[in-house]
Amino acid sequence: MGGFKQFLLRGNVVDLAVGVMIGGAFGAVVGALVKDLLTPLIAAVAAQPDFSAFSFTINNAQFLYGDFLNALISFLIVSAAIYYLVVLPINALMARAQPEPPPRPATRKCPECLSEIPVAARRCAHCSSVMG
């Protein structure tokens, strides 16, 4: 029982559980954004927000491609909303928070005489040893 308790309280499991819960709540927020704001905007422009009535029949089999179109459009809208409202701002914040890498040195030490020589030098100017 002690091993199971240790497994459950390990950081990865708790982090995953928190991530799933936040993801579910965020999914509801994004779904409401799409349903209440973006879909009516598309309806205002395209004059038809619901394609579920679109279908065709072959040999008494009805193909409801309108439902698929609704799901596809909803997926594209949700994906675009997540990308533009979450991913891009988070990436911008992360890029701003990272420190700039230190500049590359212009010189290096010769392993033979320990004098400073340019990084691109193939021979030491002081002792003429070959740089590798």
Would the pTM count as exceeding 0.85? Answer: no
- What residues make up the domain containing 131? 104-132
Q: Does residue 92 sit in the same domain as residue 36?
A: yes
Q: Does residue 120 sit in the same domain as residue 67?
A: no
Q: Does residue 31 sit in the same domain as residue 92?
A: yes
pLDDT tens digits in sequence order for the chain, 132 residues long: 778 777 766 767 777 887 888 888 887 887 787 777 777 777 777 776 667 778 889 999 988 888 888 788 778 877 887 788 888 998 898 888 888 888 888 999 998 888 999 998 889 888 888 887
With both helix axes pointing from N to C terminus, report the angle between 2-9 and 11-33 in degrees, rounded to the nearest 10: 40
Q: Does residue 51 sit in the same domain as residue 73?
A: yes
Q: Does residue 76 sit in the same domain as residue 110?
A: no
Name the amino acid, one letter, at 38: L
Q: Does residue 108 sit in the same domain as residue 72?
A: no
CA angle 43, 44, 48 (to 5 degrees): 30
The domain tally of the chain equals 2
Q: Does residue 75 sit in the same domain as residue 129?
A: no
